Amino acid sequence: MARRHVLLETPMRPFFSVVEDYDFVLRCAETYTLVRIPDFLYHYRMADNKHDSLSTSDKKYITIWHYHLVAWLSSYYRRNNMADPINHKTIENILSDARPILKNLASYPRRKLFISRSTRALSLSLQHNDLHMCRMTLALVLTYSTYSNLCHAIVRLLLRSMRYPYRVALYREIACALIFPRLFVAKTNPHMTP
């Protein structure tokens, strides 16, 4: 919920066609105070056969990850008095230029975005026995985050994975990503270079 003038002063940006709400909240947080209401105001239910909408397809899944990163980077640049990169760069250029920031910054992307999103994606891949989603998640974490973040995500995942003891292929992929991270990324997606 917000007052009307907030929505008029902070319009959604067409650049973020996938995660425009996330970008909107980040920009509002720079000007206004955000408050979490402890009550449940609505429930969101998704049937098991609709898990494709959680972006298990290769292209859509990577796109959502990339747009989340760019939305956060846009906020990071503004908070540090730098030009907003979305005004004059493509999403590929923004991520390429910001790779050192994403790998070395000990704040939001490593703690929240990478770990929580990657753990959720790996958990879904276990639940649906989706080897492709597992590979793409591991490759994205190794490309834009640190090895220790991958270990953290996997430790959190393993605590929940007792219900799926027979997903041998998925556990093999996780082991490959941990033992040979560079080789794993190169094999999974040649366009990503960790």
Q: What is the pLDDT of residue 44?
A: 65
Give the residues of the chain that fall short of pLDDT 70: 44-59, 61, 103-114, 189-194
Q: What is the pLDDT of residue 104?
A: 66
Q: What is the pLDDT of residue 111?
A: 53
The residue extents of the domains of the chain are: 1-42+55-102, 106-194
Identify the CA nearest to 118 among candidates 77, 146, 76, 90.
146
Model confidence, pTM: 0.62
Query: For the chain, give me the number of helices (H) and strands (E)?
Result: 10, 0
Q: What is the pLDDT of residue 55?
A: 46
Q: What is the pLDDT of residue 46?
A: 56
As a dihedral over the C-alpha atoms of residue 61, residue 66, residue 68, residue 70, rounded to 10 degrees, the angle is -170
Q: What is the pLDDT of residue 57?
A: 57
Q: Are 146 and 110 in contact (CB under 8 A)?
A: yes
Q: Are 118 and 141 in contact (CB under 8 A)?
A: yes
Integer Cα distance of 77 and 139 in angstroms: 25
Q: What is the pLDDT of residue 194?
A: 44
Integer Cα distance of 102 and 147 in angstroms: 12
Alpha helices by DSSP H, 18-146? 20-31, 58-79, 91-104, 108, 115-127, 131-144
- Residues contacting residue 159 through CB under 8 Å, at least 6 positions apart: none
